[in-house]
Amino acid sequence: MHRRLPILLAALIALAIAAPLSSAATKGTILLAFEGPLTGDQRSNGYDMLRGTKLAVKEINAAGGLLGMKVVLISGNDKADAATGVTVAKSIIAKHPSAVIGPFNSSVGVKNLPLYIKGGVFPVQLTSTDDTSGMGATVQPKNSQISPAEVKWMKANKAQKVSILWDPSTYTKGMADRMYSALDKQGALVTKIEIDPTATDFSAQVAQALTNNPDTVYVSTYFPQGAIIAKELAAQAKAGNDARCFMGLANQDPGFITAAGNAASHRCTFSGSPTPTQFGNKISRAYVKNYTSTFGTAPGTWGIYAYDSVYLWANAITKAGSTDIDAFSKQILNTKNMAGATGPITIAPKTGNRPNVPIGILGVSLTGKFVLESIQT
């Protein structure tokens, strides 16, 4: 268990008891917040998650709201920046919402999730670092769940000489460290090369990664940087410096394929999540249909998790029969097999994490679509 977990949960429960009902539910409405990157190079992720949140809120209100109250949504743009995320969290807390959906970026979450908890706002967060375990709840995968699937792929593909290109952000650094440790224990020769996530040219870093003729290049970055690296790896392959390309989960986004191109993307394998069309259940099919008709665009990778996050919160309030944070937070943390668009959702009470989260290994077709190669839960 994370050493901060008991303190954070105790603080959440204590503040929940003290929080007045009117802080979240007044005059027939209940306030819900969203936080994510709505500008900058991760804005496509942010807007996909905001749309998923909006769609769930729209459906809930159309069905009569929560306990007869209309859900009102507010949003904050953290720009995928930790300092901005702190400012946004303080602004959201001042408006006294019941809960916040987000943030997405782990580097933001480690800084501002404690603020939400201290401020009496329950986070249904979308971060994937284990450092945020216990800070509310999440339906998304954590790096301790993703890493084994990546390492299993490396072992199955006999990766013996691997170069790791990594972004020093919280999540991507954590995944690079886990991969290095696992490969080192297996006796593989591993080289780590840090990139500057603000740069737009990684040709020097890719050339360095290929110096020792690795069989695999593992890229632990977010998708805007990963797409640039994928294009450079494809160019080097044409020049005879070929290596397998494995992209970490933070690269899984339709924007990656758009930026890198179909051919360069096709060369890469990805860890990540099934896409919304690949979950194949009744709720996910309705989600895809309603998202597309509502917003005039196909859903991205992570909005479906934001959608399920809203329903996790809403179902807990319905079960508790109360908007009191102490009552509904206990329901959230004891969720078992809730039907979701991303499959059945169970939440582990001690961590707030989802033990049955789906983890996928994906490829990209030559027509530019993510293809699910395998999945584990």
User: Sign (positive/negative) of CA torsion 345, 348, 353, 355?
Assistant: negative
Can you tell me whether residue 345 is helix, strand or coil? Answer: strand
CATH of the domain at 175: 3.40.50.2300
Domain boundary among 272, 289, 322: 272
Q: What is the pLDDT of residues 203-215, one digit of tens each?
A: 999 999 999 999 9
Neighbours of 47 (CB within 10 A): 19
Between strands 189-194 and 161-166, the pairing is: parallel
The residue with tokens 């690795």 is 214
Residue ranges, the chain, pLDDT below 50: 1-23
Is position 376 within any domain?
A: no
Asked if residue 363 belongs to a domain, the reply is no
H runs (alpha helix) in 94-190: 106-118, 143-156, 170-185
- One domain for residues 160 and 173: yes
Alpha-helical segments (H) within 321-372: 325-332
User: Residue 28 region, left (φ>0) first, then alpha (ψ -120 to 50), else beta?
Assistant: left
pLDDT of residue 26: 53
Three-state DSSP class for residue 233: helix
Predicted local distance difference test score (pLDDT) of residue 25: 54
Does residue 377 belong to any structural domain of this protein?
no
pLDDT at residue 376 in the model:
80
DSSP sequence for 132-149 = GTTSSB-SSPPHHHHHHH
Residues 292, 246 share a domain? no
Q: Which residue carries 């500057």 as its tokens?
A: 196
Claim to verify: residue 93 and residue 135 sit in the same structural domain: yes
Task: Tell me: do 284 and 236 sit in the same domain.
Answer: no
Nearest alpha-carbon partner for 249 in 228, 275, 267, 231: 275
Residues 8-23 have pLDDT tens digits of 444 443 333 333 333 4
Q: Is 341 helix (H, G, I), strand (E, B) or coil?
A: coil
148 upstream amide cis, omega within 30 of 0: no
Residue 373 located in a structural domain = no
Do residue 246 and residue 148 come from a single domain? yes
pTM confidence score: 0.90
What is the residue range of 240's domain?
143-272
Residues 114 and 189 in one domain: no
Structurally, the chain folds into a number of domains equal to: 2
Q: Which residues pair with 271 in a beta bridge?
A: 361
Which pLDDT score is estimated for 377? 73
Tell me, yes or no, whether 40 and 158 share the same domain. no
Domain-terminating residue out of 272, 304, 330:
272
Q: 214: which 2 tokens?
A: 């690795």
Residue 366 lies in a domain: no
Q: Could you tell me if residue 311 is inside a domain?
A: yes
Indicate whether 57 and 128 sit together in one domain: yes
Within a domain: 337: yes
Could you tell me if residue 375 is inside a domain? no
Give me the DSSP letters along 245-267.
EEE-GGG-SHHHHHHH-HHHHHT
Quick: pLDDT tens for 156-175: 999 999 999 999 999 999 99
